[in-house]
Amino acid sequence: MFVSSINNSSRPRRSQLFGISSVWLSFWKFVFVFHQIFLGLLGPTLLMAQTGRHALIVSSVSGDEESKEKFWKWSNQMYQTLNQELKFPKENLFLLSEDPNQDNSIVTAKATRSELSKVFDRLASRAGVDDVVFVFLLGHGSFDGKEYKFNLVGPDVSGSELKAFLDRFSSQKVVLVCATPCSGILTKILSHKNRIIITATKNEFENNTTIFAQFFVEAFKNKAADTNKNSEVSILEAYLYASQKVDAWYKERKLLATEHPLLEDNGDGAGSSSPSPANGEGLLASKVSLGEAVAAVARRGGASSVSAELSALYSNKQKIEAALQELKYEKSSLSDAKYNKSLESLLVQLAQTNQKIKNLEKK
């Protein structure tokens, strides 16, 4: 049972310099703003140049049958989504559960500290330099006044120990989602370059049962989470979807919200509930997805020169979109002239690339 109140544990550059009229410049700016507001072009944009994806799902000790059923449902759904819909290779998927007998065809081992350490050993030995490592912790967590603890079968694992595990991935992009009570403190403990930390609570003192995990898993199955309509859900999109759903869940039940999710991805240790260029959070999360690259999907269309060219165009498109996203975050440090020059150039490149993709897809 979910508990809501009882503690549980410009100055534009002249367009002539770019060979286009002022009318065209105005048009591209309109398109840019339109996408920002309605399609989220400069919201989630995917960085999918990585060669491999790895995932570890850990469901905590439950304590009662209701929690056991709920935690298993969420962890199983996350596993199936990664494997079936996001096309994770099964050999790159690890699931630790309180009771492996719930489905020993997918559960790697019992959710103990020693087994968790073994899986991190395997991940560290397998993950390539540019790979994505996704860690999803759900269930019960606590804070003893000094340390965060993720509740496992037997000895718990502390925030300090989680940091030691993650510090083994110095070049990979690490995404850790901790959907437990008291998890907010991890945005400070685990903050690092190339690392995205998402927590269900804003600090260590929100210690009631959380529902963030339910909606984070749902984000990868609900088309509404794909706000920029590119058929992929970025980590930022998944976070925003789940966060909004959590807020709505409490409001619908007229309950005081006892969990406030945070995202930290710029390495400053200060997570934000609403990532944006204003607070510097969300850039990395907007560029990382758990799904296959669109270019990889295009390559599967065959070995023809058209398929190869289409794959290259999709890759180039993603690079341009990533550059647009970065430009948004850099705007405050740029002169109006430099910003508009960069904006115009990127939008023209994007339009040209989209047209080439459209022409090839007609063949």
pLDDT in tens, 83-112: 999 999 999 999 999 999 999 999 999 999
CA distances from 296 to 300, 301, 302, 308 (A): 7, 9, 11, 10
Which DSSP helix (H) or strand (E) runs through 142? strand 141-143
Per-residue confidence (pLDDT) for residue 27, from 0 to 100? 53
Asked if 2 contacts 209 with a C-beta cutoff of 8 angstroms, the reply is yes
Average pLDDT over residues 54-82: 97
Per-residue confidence (pLDDT) for residue 51, from 0 to 100? 58
pLDDT at 19 over 80: no
H, E, C per residue of 14-64: CHHHHCCCHHHHHHHHHHHHHHHHHHCCCCCCCCCCCCCEEEEEEECCCCC
Residue indicated by tokens 């405050």: 332
From the list 76, 64, 74, the residue with the least C-alpha distance to 3 is 64
- Percent of the chain predicted with pLDDT > 70: 82
Per-residue confidence (pLDDT) for residue 222, from 0 to 100? 92
Per-residue confidence (pLDDT) for residue 229, from 0 to 100? 81
pLDDT at 32 over 80: no
215 three-class SS? helix
Q: Retrieve residue 355's tokens.
A: 């047209």
Number of Cβ within 10 Å of residue 42's Cβ equals 21
Query: Is the torsion defined by CA of 360, 33, 315, 55 positive or negative?
Result: negative
Confidence band for 262, pLDDT divided at 50, 70 and 90 = very high
Which is more confidently placed, 306 or 361? 361
* Single pTM value for the model: 0.79
Average pLDDT over residues 122-142: 96
DSSP 8-state symbol, 332? G
**All domains of the chain in start order, with CATH:** 20-43+294-361 (no CATH), 53-287 (3.40.50.1460)
